[in-house]
Structure 1
Amino acid sequence: MAAPLRISSGRDELDVAMIHRYLSEQSYWKRGVALEVVRKGIDNALCFGGYVEGQQVAFARVVTDYTDFAYLRDVFVLPAFQGRGYGRQLVAAVLGDERLRGVGWMLATDDAQGLYASFGFESLATPEKYMRRPAP
């Protein structure tokens, strides 16, 4: 049986060095990202850490106005802790957070559509209406 996952949005608990290491070295979506960019993203978002026996093993970041929009970003579980249900627990905690009640959600993923579909996420019905302006 997996050790329990404790989830917190306490910013002071986040292991920023570990988060940066994972995002810059292991993620497919932010490989090579600078530490300064990760810090700024954390400072300007609602972040959640997942902890097992005091060690941070998971992370999720929400960009939101707390009113009607939230964008779920940078969700991961360290490879050594995957397959134990921690990702599902983390996403459930984020989506259930009282501060985000009633907001509409968006996210992008290359490989976890099944996980997010189980929480009610669905493909855009009219993707042709949506536009983006990529960062330089």
Structure 2
Amino acid sequence: MTDTNHALPDGYELSTDPARIDAGRVHHWLSTDAYWALGRPRAKQDAAIAGSLNFGVYETASGDQVAYARVVTDRATFAWLCDVYVDRSVRGTGLGTALAAGIRDHLAAHGLRRILLATGDAHGVYEKIGFKGLQNPDMWMVLGEQ
């Protein structure tokens, strides 16, 4: 059974307000420290932010952004969770799991058929909130990078 009690630790808040996204910080995180986005140009990252539903985690006291994720979705049937990043200074605090759970809960209102993601190293984080491996991976195909 999936544990749905993954609230943000005290002192942090989750927001979908695009005006709060620190695009420079997000670009730095992803382009220098995220294996899937190393070297991503700033213009490409800004375009990705503009075309996505964005989630930020912020320190309540300072307002500083400490985590980010984005979702590509039609808000009706499908969503792709991507670019999930937690600043190294706050890893291990439960923010990553709480962020993913907050996104899952936010998307639940849309009645989506599926939410997908790809990860090379964080399966345990996502399994805690209900994600599981593809039942029929042979049905899925990709065009482009693998």
On whether the aligned pair clears a TM of 0.5, the verdict is: yes
Gaps of 5+ in 2: 1-8
SS class of match (2:98):
helix
Q: Is the 8 A contact 1:67 1:100 kept in 2?
A: no
1:82 aligns with 2:91: yes
Q: CA deviation at 1:125?
A: 1.2
RMSD after superposition: 1.4
Rounded to whole Å, the distance in 2 between the matches of 1:100 and 1:33 is 32
TM-score (norm. length: structure 1):
0.93
**1:29-87: CA deviations, max 9, x gaps?**
10000000100000001000000131000001000000010000000110011111111
Show structure 1 runs of 4+ deviating over 2 A.
Answer: 98-101
What amino acid maps onto 2:23 in structure 1? Answer: V
Identical positions, percent: 35
Of the two structures, which has the highest relative contact order with CA contacts closer than 8 Å and spacing of 6 or more? 2
**1:90-123: CA deviations, max 9, x gaps?**
1111111157532111000011111111111111
Matches within 5 A, 1:54-69: 54-69=63-78
What amino acid maps onto 1:64 in structure 2? Answer: T
Number of residue pairs matched by the alignment: 134
**1:123 aligned residue:** 133
**Alpha-carbon distance change, 100 to 34 in structure 1, aligned in 2, over 3 angstroms:** farther
What amino acid maps onto 1:81 in structure 2? Answer: V
SS class of match (1:97):
helix
